[in-house]
Each structure stands twice: as C-alpha cells, then as structure tokens.
Amino acid sequence: MTEEKKEHNKEEFEPRIVGFLCNWCSYAGADLAGTSRIQYPPNVRIIRVMCSGSVDSMYILRALLEGADGVFVGGCHPGDCHYLDGNYKARRRMVLLKTILETFGLESERVWIRWISASEGQRFAETMRDMTDSIRKLGPNPIAKQWNI
Amino acid sequence: MTHRIGVFICHCGINIAQNVDVEALTEYASHLDGVIVSKNYKYMCSDAGANVIKDAIKEHKLDRVVIASCSPRMHEHTFRDVVRDGGVNPYCLEIANIREQCSWAHTDKEQATEKAKALVRSAVAKAKLMEPLSTSTIPVIPEALVIGGGIAGIQASLDLANDGFKVYLVEREPTIGGRMAQLDKTFPTLDCASCILTPKMMEAANHANIELFTYADIAKIEGSIGNYTVQIKKKPRYVDIKKCTGCGDCAQACRLKGRVSNEFDLGLGKRGAAYLAFPQAVPLKYTIDSKHCLFLTRGKCGDTPACKEACLQQAINFDQKEEIITKKVGAIIVATGYDLLDPSAIYEYGYATSADVITSLEMERLISSSGPTKGEILRPSDQKKPKSITFILCVGSRDETQCTWCCRIGCMSALKHVYLLREKLGEDVEINVCYTDIRSYGKGYEEFYRKVRGLKTNMFRGRPSEVRNISGQLTLDIFDTMTSKLFEVTTDLVVLVPAIVPRFDATAFARILHLTQSGDGFLLEAHPKLRPMDTFVNGMFIAGCCQGPKDIQDTVSQASGAASRAAIILSKKELEIDPLIASVDEEICTGCGICIEVCPYDARSLNEKTRVALVNDALCAGCGGCIAACPSNASVHKNFTKKQILNMVDETL
C-alpha cells in the first residue's frame, strides 16, 4: 500500500477522493450514473453507509490523515432522508467539522457534502467531475505530505 | 483470529470484463492479506456461478466471502442466499461494486482496473471484521390498515378482506368513493361511474372483515413491518351513526339549507350545514359541518337547533368529541389519491376571474345527472345553454413552469366529455379541443379517439396563450401547429383540464408514515419497474394516484397488486428481521442518553437500573445515527462498525 502511495506522488497530481454515500439516495444515484453509462473521473472511491447521518467525523479525519485529497459525503435531499432526518444530522456535523479543519489549517473545501437522490445519476457524475477538478486545483493534501515524510 | 476469505469476481458477460482486467484483478486479490482463494467467472449470479462459490467455500473452508460484481442493491440478497447454501453466514458477505460504480462509469481500462483493485481491497478489509449475524423473528399481526377510501382503497380492502384478513379502512371525508364517485361516466367504455362504484362501496361497508372509519384521519403510526400501531383520529360528525337512518330530515330542516357551497360539486351546488355529500354516500349517514353550523359556530340556532328538533331518531349529538382509536396492524396500504392543480395558478386562462372558465371535474359534475344541474349543461354565469364549448388540455401539465409530468387521463377525459356533450346537446353546439398531443395509449382508447374525431369536433393542436374575458364574452387565440394557422375562437364556456398533483398535504402525510416522495411530490415506489407497489418502508404499500397519475384501470390493478403484496406479509405467522441494526457495548456505555435523543424511531431507551442504553430490535431501522452520535463508541452498527469503515478507508487509499 505504501509503495502505491509513493508511486502516486511521483506522477502528475491525481486527487484521491473517498466518498461516503448513503445507501438509499446517493449510492443509488451513483449506481444510476453507471447504469446510464455516464462517465466521471475514477478518482473517487466509494464506501457505502446506510445513512449520511451515520458518517462519523472520525471517518473523514482518518481519510484525510491517510492521504485522501478530498472527502465526499452524499445524502438524500433535505426532507427526503430514508431515516427521516439523518441528512440533517450529517449537515450539522459537517459544518462543525469544517470549522475544526480550518482551525488546523486545512482547507475545508476538501470536504464536500451534497444531496443526490436515487434518480440523479447525472448530478452525481457532474458533482464528481466538479469535485475532482476543484481538488486538483487545490493540490495535494498537505497533511498527507507530512505523513509521508 | 484470522479468517479465511474467498474473493469471487464476476465478468458480468462483458459488462465488467470489457473495462476491468478481470484476470489481473483475480491475481491481485489472491495476494491480499487473508485471502485464501480468488476466482472469476462469467456470470456469478447464475447457477453455475453460485456453484463456483459454494465449491470454493467447501474446498478451502472459507468463512468470509467477497464478491466483486454489480451493485449490492442489485444482488446482495441473491448472493447472501448463495453463501448461506455454501455454509457461510449470509452476513459474512461483502460486495465490491465494480460494475455500476466502476466498469460502467470508466472506459479507461487501466484506470478502471486500478479502481476495481481498490474497491476489492477495501471490501476484503471490511470482510476481515465481519461478524456472523442471525436474523430474529417477530410475530405478524394478520390485520391491515388501508388509508383512503377511493376506488384504490376500496379495491385493496375488498381483496384483503376476501383473503380472510381484517381490514381497517380509513377515509377522511364523511363518505367513501373518492374521486371516482364524482365522475359521471368512465372512458372508453362509457360505463356509468356510480353504477360500477356504488356496489363496491356497499360491499366494502358491509363486509364482515372490513371496519370502516369515515371522517377520520391518521394521527400517528409507530412500529414496523408485521407490527404497526396506528392511531386513528375520528372527527366529530355530531351525528350518532348508530342511530342515523339517513332519512335526511335534518338536512331539510337545517337553517342553512342551500346556503353552503358543496365541495363534492366543487362549489357548483349548495347544501346545508347538515348534509350528505351525495345521495349514494356510504355510509348513508349525515354529517354536521362544524365550520358552518350556526349552533357550533355561534352557539345559537334559533331556540333549539332545527336539525335536532327534526331528527326523530335523536341522532344529532352536539356533545360529540374527537376520538382517538388505536389499532394494531401488520401491513399498511396507502391510497390517498390526488388533487387537481388549481388553474388560478395559470392566471392567463382566467379561471379565477370568469365563472364560465371551469375545470374538467366541474364539467363532470355538470354532466352528471346527480349533479347540481341534474345533468343539464348550463353556463355557471347565467344558467344558459352554451352554444360553443372549448376544451384546453394540459393546463399545467407537461409545463416546466408548473408540472413537468403528463396527467395521463386529461386527453381521454376531455374526449369523453366531447362524446357526452354531443349526446346531450346534439349537433347545435360547437366543440373545440386545444390539445398538445392526444395520448390514447390504453386498451380501446385509440378507437375511442377515432370515434370522437368523427363527431364534428374542431381539434386544434396547440396551447392558447390566454383566455380573454371581454364583458362576459370569452375569446382565445389558438395557433394550430398542424395547419400552421392562427385561429380566433369565440366561445361560451371554457373547460380547463388541469394537471394532477399530489394531495395538498402529501408532504406532512409522508412524514407521519416515514414515506419518501419523488421529486414531483408523489409517493415514491421502491423500484419503478420491479417493485411499483412497495415503498422503502417495509410493510407499507402504495396504490393509485398517490404514487402518480393514473386512470381507473391502472389504479384498480395497482390496488389489487398492493393487496397481494400485503397479503404475503399478513399470511406469515412470523417475519425475519434484518440484523444489520444497532447494538450496545454494555461495558463502555455511560448511559448518557444521546442515542435516545437522536433515534428517529424511538428504538433506544435507557435501562434505569444499569444505566446502559438499550436497542429495541424490532423498531431499529439500522440508520446508524446513534453510532455516529455516541461519544464513547459504545453504540455499534452491526457489520457497519467504525473499525470496519476505518479499515475500508485505510485500504481504499
């Protein structure tokens, strides 16, 4: 694993993004993007969770410490949460986490939270394109650099 | 303890194999820590593919399985059965989604293969920490709740009742029948709506297995599949329905007789405060309208309320209070119907400003022999027979500023009206139809359309820009896209065919039931093609227009389908419940109670003695909200544990 990481750094910068997608909306939306054969950059690695509200801040911090250049959290649209209000919990948690990240000198723009429904394959693919571009502009995650030294 | 993991990679024909180097992936997976064997096969979901997995489990004594294939939303259940048959706990299976989220989304084979490797690596990392889980069972209450007493609710109730299940049918209006009861005739066969509906209404009311709650709302729903607790709020109708014989003396005596607008006739007719929505109402019981009744609003109606004096049965009871009735049911069918878009929203058609611009449902009441004009076609403004009638279709439908969807019944209902108007008014009346496209898709619909086109109807393909009302004379400009000509039409009566929209309170109602809505606001089905009557809440089903616009044929089919889906649950004594729920590490739990506050299902509680939080397995839906909220990591999401997710994060990078 560490070998691969080094390899990555040698090449031109390709952002590595970890995505936490809720089972009911965003994960299904990502499936729909595939089913509709809509292409998006392969930079995102998806981890399925049952609800965006179950995404612990710890997951995001760990991903950033382990070298992810960006973390994406996808949930159902406000009001549409399969579990009633999990996405609101996620939203509150992300706001707090972003202020903490800024305090530590890390760009909070590395963490994205977006609402993508099961029928929004196109939106999922577009969001992944936007996020990959925007993280590419931000450059490699500075924490990861230190970590590698 | 180290586990023995097997990785099985599916080609999915060429769906995966064309963009992912399956052989390289298989080779790669075989070297991952903990992996004993790695194989690939053309179709893992086939019988032969299942045998590849089962044989490998036996040969290599595997206890954890990773399958790299299509989305777990597609075949997780299939593969759980396969590994169970092979002798591995079905919850010791993890799926790496290398089709929808990899081979289909990325055409660069090298990149897609690299991503597939990462996905398999992280799935293996999760599998290492998977625990065998067992499903528990809960008893099923063999009774059902049906919400909405229109044709969908009636059909579903009758099917379930005839299947032998007890049904509680709840309707918010004083009578069942719904929208269909307002119709005169139905397309394309021109069956009289009342003649085919009323017998079904009677059957539902008299069925030994159906208990009817009219003039009642759903106050609260708790519990889960097999065991829901429902609170039904019976609104006071101020008439004792056990005593009321439906004689109508109260309505005759009511001091407001003929002075309250009748919502059943959409305001075209009048009633009193004591009223029956329509003569064939079921139950045939009168209701006192608390919004208008003099006694209920002002506390005084002459010396004694006239209705009370007139009722020989002494059925009028002004002391009636709202009543909450609690029932337990195993399954729920939602059939709450639709509203029509208020055409005032499209200001230029003048619905709000001219009495002679009406909706198709109002036309239905004008045509109906039991309607306010006893079936005579009279203009609302002057009660004269119109010489010219113009229909405007797609009012708000297929319109990006209002409703993007097609109402699916507008074309046919307008054609039906044309036919009935010709029948009633003969050749003297001019009939114009402004349509967008005529959608006559159903059985016998196209034939009906042809029949109507032969009836001297002026068909214009286009949408008028406005309806001008110049001192009572209605005029509209219509550009016919078939002839590329602009016509000016002067007409006596304009009939708007408005869009079908979700019930005005659909969102609040969906909240009570924990149901989801699609972008258009209708209730969302679990799968548009394969699970059209199911919802994402287990044990709740949807039928009729609450799910989306449809005609009576489709509504009845869907209602029978929903009843049959519900019967599958109700006919079981016990149900297995998914074990992917929360649990508590009692050693760590401090009893802070945060999990209780965040749980949307009231599944968490505190053992006051031990000060340890508890999980009610039957109520927990497995969202994981309490896991993220738990400050001491005592809450555990079975097989979505924090350690598992963190392992996945580490390996995915």
Dihedral sign for Cα atoms in the order B151, B154, B156, B159: negative
Angle between helices B109-128 and B642-652 (to 10 degrees): 150
Report residue A129 as tokens: 């394109």
Cis previous bond, B549, omega within 30: no
CA distance B460 to B487: 9
Whether B114 and chain A come into contact, CB under 8 Å, resolves to yes
What does the longest C-alpha to C-alpha distance in chain A come to? 45
**Which whole number is the average pLDDT over B550-572?**
97
Least-confidence region, from A46-60, A76-90, B560-574, B588-602: A76-90
How many inter-chain contacts (A to B, CB under 8 Å) are there? 142
Task: Give the residue from B18, B645, B647, B651 with the most A CB atoms within 10 Å of its CB, the best one to mutate.
Answer: B645
| DSSP secondary structure code for residue B167 in this structure | E
**Which whole number is the average pLDDT over B351-369?**
95
* Residue reference for tokens 């769906």: B15
Q: Check if the beta carbon of residue B45 is closer than 8 Å to that of residue B14.
A: no
For residue B199, with 0-12 CB atoms within 10 Å meaning exposed, 13-18 middle and 19 or more buried, which class applies? exposed
Q: Check if the beta carbon of residue B509 is closer than 8 Å to that of residue B503.
A: yes
How far apart are the CA of B638 and the nearest CA of chain A, in angstroms?
Answer: 11
Using CA atoms, how far residue B111 sits from B117, B118, B148, B521, B650, in Å, is: 10, 11, 53, 39, 20
Torsions phi, psi for B79 (to 5 deg): -75, -30
CA distance B533 to B543: 6
Calculate the average pLDDT of chain B.
94
Higher pLDDT residue, B526 or B93? B93
Interface predicted TM-score of the whole assembly (ipTM), two decimals: 0.91
Angle between helices B445-453 and B410-425 (to 10 degrees): 40
How far apart are the CA of B69 and the nearest CA of chain A, in angstroms?
Answer: 12
Residue from the list B73, B101, B650 with its beta carbon closest to the beta carbon of A66: B650
Task: Give the residue from A24, A71, A73, A84 with the most B CB atoms within 10 Å of its CB, the best one to mutate.
Answer: A84
Q: Choose among B545, B617, B550: nearest CA to B581.
A: B617
Based on DSSP, count helices (H) and strands (E) in chain A, helices before strands.
6, 4
Q: Choose among B29, B6, B10: nearest CA to B94.
A: B6
Chain B residue with CA closest to A5: the answer is B653
Task: Give the residue from A5, A14, A54 with the most B CB atoms within 10 Å of its CB, the best one to mutate.
Answer: A54
Dihedral sign for Cα atoms in the order A73, A78, A81, A83: positive
Whether B635 and chain A come into contact, CB under 8 Å, resolves to no
Task: Give the residue from A6, A31, A115 with the most B CB atoms within 10 Å of its CB, the best one to mutate.
Answer: A31
Using CA atoms, how far residue B71 sits from B6, B101, B189, in Å, is: 18, 8, 45
CA distance B560 to B154: 10
pLDDT at residue A2, rounded to an integer: 46
pLDDT at A6 > cutoff 50: no
Pick the CATH number of B339-501 from 3.40.50.300, 3.40.50.2300, 3.50.50.60, 1.20.1050.140: 3.50.50.60
**Which whole number is the average pLDDT over A34-53?**
95
Whether B621 and chain A come into contact, CB under 8 Å, resolves to yes
pLDDT at B28 > cutoff 70: yes
Which CATH number applies to A3-145?
3.40.50
* Residue reference for tokens 């009578």: B175
Query: Start-end ranges of CATH 3.30.70.20 in chain B?
Result: 580-637
Chain B residue with CA closest to A65: the answer is B650
pLDDT at B189 > cutoff 50: yes
pLDDT at residue A146, rounded to an integer: 57
pLDDT at residue A1, rounded to an integer: 44
Task: Using alpha carbons only, give the angle B559, B500, B434 rounded to the nearest 5 degrees.
Answer: 125
Partner-chain contact A119 B653, CB within 8 Å: no
Partner-chain contact B628 A89, CB within 8 Å: yes
Based on DSSP, count helices (H) and strands (E) in chain B, helices before strands.
17, 34
**Which whole number is the average pLDDT over B100-118?**
96
How far apart are the CA of A98 and the nearest CA of chain B, in angstroms?
Answer: 17
Render pLDDT for B501-533 as a digit per residue (tens, 0 to 9). 999 999 889 878 878 777 788 998 888 888 999
Render pLDDT for B130-180 as a digit per residue (tens, 0 to 9). 999 998 888 999 999 999 999 999 999 999 999 999 999 999 999 999 999
Chain B residue with CA closest to A2: the answer is B653
CA distance B335 to B332: 10
Whether B580 and chain A come into contact, CB under 8 Å, resolves to yes
pLDDT at B41 > cutoff 70: yes
**Which whole number is the average pLDDT over B325-346?**
97
Higher pLDDT residue, B491 or B536? B491
Model pTM score = 0.79
Partner-chain contact B514 A84, CB within 8 Å: yes
**Which whole number is the average pLDDT over B204-210?**
97
Q: Check if the beta carbon of residue B559 is closer than 8 Å to that of residue B153.
A: yes
Whether B122 and chain A come into contact, CB under 8 Å, resolves to yes
How far apart are the CA of B514 and the nearest CA of chain A, in angstroms?
Answer: 7
pLDDT band at B471 (very low <50, low <70, confident <90, very high): confident
DSSP lists the bridge partners of residue B385 as: none
Q: Choose among A44, A108, A45, A55: nearest CA to A81.
A: A55
Residue B38 CA to chain centroid, in angstroms? 44
Chain A residue with CA closest to B107: the answer is A39
Residue from the list B536, B598, B646 with its beta carbon closest to the beta carbon of A82: B536
pLDDT at residue B201, rounded to an integer: 97
Q: Which amino acid is at B387?
A: K
Partner-chain contact A83 B600, CB within 8 Å: yes
Report residue B276 as tokens: 């029956």
Report residue A123 as tokens: 């939106």
Report residue B530 as tokens: 């394969």
Pick the CATH number of B580-637 from 3.40.50.720, 1.10.1200.10, 3.30.70.20, 3.40.1190.20: 3.30.70.20
Which CATH number applies to B5-127?
3.40.50
Calculate the average pLDDT of chain A.
88
Partner-chain contact B642 A58, CB within 8 Å: yes
CA distance B636 to B582: 6
Chain A residue with CA closest to B117: the answer is A45
Residues 6+ apart with CB under 8 A from B153: B146, B147, B169, B171, B176, B178, B333, B335, B543, B544, B559
Give the helix ranges, DSSP H, for A11-114.
26-35, 57-65, 86-103
pLDDT at residue A11, rounded to an integer: 57
CA distance B616 to B598: 14
**Which whole number is the average pLDDT over A74-103?**
91
Residues 6+ apart with CB under 8 A from B31: none
For residue B426, with 0-12 CB atoms within 10 Å meaning exposed, 13-18 middle and 19 or more buried, which class applies? exposed
In chain A, the N- to C-terminal Cα span, in Å, equals 15
Whether B653 and chain A come into contact, CB under 8 Å, resolves to yes
Render pLDDT for B62-82 as a digit per residue (tens, 0 to 9). 999 999 999 998 899 899 999
Query: Start-end ranges of CATH 3.50.50.60 in chain B?
Result: 339-501
Residue from the list A28, A34, A51 with its beta carbon closest to the beta carbon of B624: A51
pLDDT at residue B223, rounded to an integer: 81
Whether B107 and chain A come into contact, CB under 8 Å, resolves to yes
A63 CB neighbours in chain B (<8 A) are 649, 653
**Which whole number is the average pLDDT over B604-617?**
92
Residue from the list B112, B640, B653 with its beta carbon closest to the beta carbon of A49: B640
Q: Check if the beta carbon of residue B43 is closer than 8 Å to that of residue B17.
A: no
Chain B residue with CA closest to A45: the answer is B652
| DSSP secondary structure code for residue B471 in this structure | T
pLDDT at A5 > cutoff 80: no
Render pLDDT for A129-139 as a digit per residue (tens, 0 to 9). 999 999 999 99
Partner-chain contact A50 B622, CB within 8 Å: yes
CA distance B459 to B432: 6
* Residue reference for tokens 């000060």: B611
B511 CB neighbours in chain A (<8 A) are 84
Residue from the list B106, B517, B646 with its beta carbon closest to the beta carbon of A59: B646
Q: Check if the beta carbon of residue B197 is closer than 8 Å to that of residue B173.
A: no
Strands (E) in B114-246, as ranges, are 136-139, 143-147, 166-170, 185-186, 191-192, 210-213, 216-224, 227-234
Strands (E) in B425-472, as ranges, are 430-435, 457-461, 467-470
Residue from the list A39, A40, A54 with its beta carbon closest to the beta carbon of B624: A54
pLDDT at B653 > cutoff 90: no
pLDDT at residue B538, rounded to an integer: 86
Q: Check if the beta carbon of residue B179 is closer than 8 Å to that of residue B150.
A: yes
CA distance A145 to A65: 10
pLDDT at residue A78, rounded to an integer: 87
Domain boundaries, chain A: 3-145
Partner-chain contact A46 B97, CB within 8 Å: yes
pLDDT at residue B514, rounded to an integer: 76
Task: Give the residue from A56, A82, A110 with the most B CB atoms within 10 Å of its CB, the best one to mutate.
Answer: A56
